[in-house]
Amino acid sequence: MQTLYEWDFRPESKVEDILHRNFTEFEGQVDQVYARKVVEGTIASKDSIDQLIIKAAPDWPIEQVAMIDKNLLRIAIFELLYDQEEEVPPKVSINEAVELGKQFGSESSSKFINGVLGTIYKDHAKKLEPRDLNAPK
């Protein structure tokens, strides 16, 4: 999250430099392989992810969405729809984004994030069901 936030704030920065700095700061606390996959995958899919955010939140122009909220949404959407290895169950990804929104965003961040991700989850439910650990078998 921190890497994407900083990159979004300073897009001229090299993502690799930001990742390296964060890996050094949080040494032993981060799964570097997974973090790198999420950061690189989210950036590679950013334009299509942003289109999903725009569609799910038509009353909020993407440039007006708080940077922290936007990046939490991007990460969760990457995990939901773009992660080919499907490591995170959808409800876990949504819950983590909502909780991080409560911790790092504004008072309304968690509700906004939950609403956007809930809409995207409903729109893509058929694709996501097999990954959901709580889905009926």
Task: Report the mean per-residue pLDDT for the chain.
Answer: 89
Ranges of each domain in the chain: 2-131
For position 130, what pLDDT does the model report?
53
Radius of gyration of the chain (CA): 15
Spatial neighbors of 62 by CB under 8 A, at least 6 apart, are 50, 53, 54, 70
At 70, the amino acid letter reads: K
Going by pLDDT thresholds of 50, 70 and 90, the confidence category of residue 12 is confident
- Angstrom distance (rounded) from CA 90 to CA 44: 20
Q: What average pLDDT does this structure show over 14-37?
A: 91
For residue range 56-92, what is the model confidence (pLDDT) as tens digits?
A: 999 999 999 999 999 999 999 999 999 978 778 889 9
Q: What average pLDDT does this structure show over 21-32?
A: 90
- Write the CA distances from 24 to 1, 3, 7, 32, 45, integer angstroms: 15, 12, 17, 10, 26
Q: Which CATH superfamily is domain 2-131 in?
A: NusB-like (1.10.940.10)
- Angstrom distance (rounded) from CA 9 to CA 28: 26
Taking residue 130's Cβ as centre, other Cβ atoms within 10 Å add up to 9
Higher-confidence position of 129 and 125: 125
Is residue 7 classed exposed, middle or buried when 0-12, 13-18 and 19+ CB atoms within 10 A define those classes?
A: buried
For position 137, what pLDDT does the model report?
38
